[in-house]
Amino acid sequence: MTSKPAQPVALEADAPRPLPRLARPPSVADWIPTVSIPVDCEPAHFHEGLLQLVLYPEQSSSTILRAEILDDEQDPADHLDLAGGDAQTRCPLTGYTCVRRVRRRVLPNRPQFDWAMEQECLFYDKRGSEAGESEALVVLLPDFAQLDRDRGDQRLPYYHPQVYALAFRYLADHAGTSTSLRIDLVPLPSQPLLAPLPQNDRLFRTAQVLAKYAAKLCNGQAVGYQKRIHHDLLVGRTAVQDTYQRLKDKYQWMLHSWQESTDATKHVFEDVAIAAWLVTYWAEIYPDTEGKPPGGFVDVGCGNGLLVYILAAEGYSGYGFDLRERKSWASYTAPRPDLRVQSLNPVTLLPSALDHTDSEGASGSAESSDWPFPRDSFLIFNHADEMTPWCPLLAALTPGPRVGFLNIPCCLHELAGRFERQTYTIPAAFLADLPPSQIAADHPSADGSEAWRASLPDDLHPLLFPFYAAAPLSYSKPAAKGATSAAAASPTGDVSILGGRYHAYQLYLAHLTLRCDFVPAREALRIPSTKNFGLVGGRAPRSPGGTGRDQEDVRDEVRQLLAEVVRKGEWRARRPEGKAGERSGH
What is the distance in angstroms between the CA of the first residue and the CA of the last residue of the chain? 56
In this predicted structure, the answer to whether residue 249 has a pLDDT above a threshold of 70 is yes
Is the domain of 174 the same as that of 291?
no
In a domain, 586, yes or no: no
Residue 252 domain flag: yes
How confident is residue 262, by pLDDT bands cut at 50, 70 and 90?
confident
173 and 61 assigned to the same domain = yes
CA distances, 86 to each of 83, 92, 437 (Å):
10, 12, 44
State the chain's mean pLDDT as an integer: 82
**pLDDT for residue 433:** 64
Residue 450 binned pLDDT confidence (cut-offs 50, 70, 90): low
Query: What pLDDT, on a 0 to 100 scale, did the predictor assign at position 480?
Result: 44
532 has a pLDDT exceeding 50: yes
> 10 Å Cβ neighbour count for 134?
16
* pLDDT recorded at residue 224: 80
Residue 470 has pLDDT above 50, yes or no: no
Q: What is the DSSP string of 475-505?
A: EEEEPPTT---TTTEETTS-EEEE--HHHHH
Nearest to 105 by CA among 73, 80, 75, 71: 71
Q: Sheet of 424-426: strands edge to edge?
A: 424-426, 495-498, 474-478, 489-490
Does 585 map to a domain? no
Count the residues in the chain: 586
- The pLDDT-based confidence of 539 (bands split at 50, 70, 90) is confident
The beta strand positions in 28-95, using DSSP E, are 32-38, 64-74
Rg (CA), the chain: 28
Domain assignment present for 228: no
Average pLDDT over residues 556-570: 90
| Geometric angle at alpha carbon 261, from 257 and 264, rounded to 5° | 50
pLDDT of residue 483: 38
**What is the pLDDT, as a whole number, of residue 479?**
46
Sign of CA pseudo-dihedral 477, 478, 483, 487: positive
Enter the DSSP assignment of 324.
S
Q: Are residue 241 and residue 371 in the same domain, yes or no? A: yes
d(CA 384, CA 396) in angstroms, rounded, equals 18
Q: pLDDT confidence of 87, banded at 50, 70, 90?
A: very low
Q: Does 3 score more than 80 pLDDT?
A: no
CA–chain centroid gap for 31, Å, is 37
Asked if pLDDT for residue 98 goes beyond 60, the answer is yes
Q: With bands split at pLDDT 50, 70 and 90, how would you rate the model's confidence at 404?
A: very high
The sign of the torsion formed by the CA atoms of 446, 449, 454, 459 equals: negative
Residue in 540, 533, 496, 495 with CA at minimum distance from that of residue 516: 540
Is residue 227 assigned to a domain? Answer: no
Shared-domain flag, residues 279 and 402: yes
Q: Are residues 358 and 216 in the same domain?
A: no
Q: Name the pLDDT band for 530 (thresholds 50, 70, 90).
A: confident
| Cα distances (Å, whole numbers) of residue 281 to 243, 275, 306, 393, 463 | 11, 10, 19, 22, 18
Where is pLDDT greater, at 530 or 112? 112
Least confident of 42-46, 169-173, 566-570, 575-579: 575-579
Q: Kindly state whether residues 291 and 359 are assigned to the same domain.
A: yes
As a whole number of angstroms, the distance between CA 180 and CA 9 comes to 11
Longest CA–CA span in the chain (Å) reads 86
In this structure, are 208 and 269 located in the same domain? no
Residue 37 lies in a domain: yes
Mean pLDDT of 271-292: 96
Which is more confident, 348 or 454? Answer: 348
Q: What are phi and psi of 125, to 5 degrees?
A: -115, 155
The confidence score (pLDDT) of residue 513 equals 93
Kindly report the number of other CB atoms within 10 A of residue 466's CB atom: 19
256 shares its domain with 380: yes
Cβ neighbours of 290 (radius 10 Å): 9
Quick check: bond before 196 cis, omega within 30? yes
Answer whether residue 299 shows pLDDT above 80: yes
The confidence score (pLDDT) of residue 583 equals 44
Structurally, the chain folds into a number of domains equal to 2
Is residue 367 predicted with pLDDT exceeding 70?
no
Q: Is the domain of 192 the same as that of 258?
A: no
Q: Domain boundary residue among 199, 222, 245?
A: 222
For residues 48-71, average pLDDT: 94
Highest mean pLDDT among 16-30, 300-314, 411-425, 427-441: 300-314
* Partners of 339 in the β-ladder: 320
The pairing of strands 424-426 and 495-498 is: antiparallel
Once rounded to an integer, what is the mean pLDDT over residues 541-564?
Answer: 73
Q: In this predicted model, what pLDDT tens digit does every residue of 475-501 receive, in sequence order?
A: 555 444 443 333 233 444 555 555 678
**Residues 26 and 94 grouped into a single domain:** yes
Average pLDDT on 521-528 reads 86
Q: Is 344 part of a structural domain of the chain? A: yes
Give the pLDDT confidence score for residue 487 in this predicted structure: 29
Share of the chain above pLDDT 90, in %: 53
DSSP codes, 176-235: SS-EEEEEEEEE-TTS---SSPPTTSHHHHHHHHHHHHHHHHHHHHHTT--------SSS
Exposure string of 332-354, with b = 16+ CB inside 10 Å and e = fewer, is beeeebbbbbbbbbbbebbeebb
Is the pLDDT at 5 greater than 70, yes or no?
yes
What is the C-alpha separation between 415 and 346, in angstroms, rounded?
10
Per-residue confidence (pLDDT) for residue 586, from 0 to 100: 37
Average of pLDDT values for 549-553?
72
Q: Which of 222, 245, 279 represents a domain boundary (last residue)? A: 222
Asked whether residue 544 is domain-assigned, the answer is yes
Which of 69-83, 354-368, 429-443, 504-518 is predicted least confidently? 354-368
pLDDT at 448 over 60: no
Higher per-residue pLDDT: 520 or 1: 520
Nearest-5° Cα angle at 409, 403 to 412? 130
The two beta strands, 404-408 and 518-524, are: unpaired
Residue 227 has a pLDDT of 65
The pLDDT value recorded for residue 482 is 41
**pLDDT band at 152, cuts 50/70/90?**
very high
- Does residue 325 contact residue 369 with C-beta atoms inside 8 Å? no
Q: Are residues 174 and 252 in the same domain?
A: no
Where in the sequence is the domain holding 553, given as residue range(s)? 237-579
**Are β-strands 297-300 and 378-382 bridged in parallel, bridged antiparallel, or unpaired?**
parallel
pLDDT for residue 460 is more than 70:
no
Per-residue pLDDT at 376: 96
CA-to-CA dists, residue 204 to 35, 60, 179, angstroms: 8, 16, 21
Indicate the SS3 state at residue 307.
Answer: helix
Q: Which of 409, 403, 400, 397 is nearest to 301 (CA)?
A: 409
Q: What is the mean pLDDT of residues 218-243?
A: 83
Q: Are residues 115 and 70 part of one domain?
A: yes
Rounded Cα–Cα distance for residues 205 and 556 (Å): 63
CA distance 84 to 286: 51
Name the helix (H) or strand (E) containing 171.
strand 163-172
Question: pLDDT digits over 189-206, tens only?
Answer: 888 888 899 999 999 999
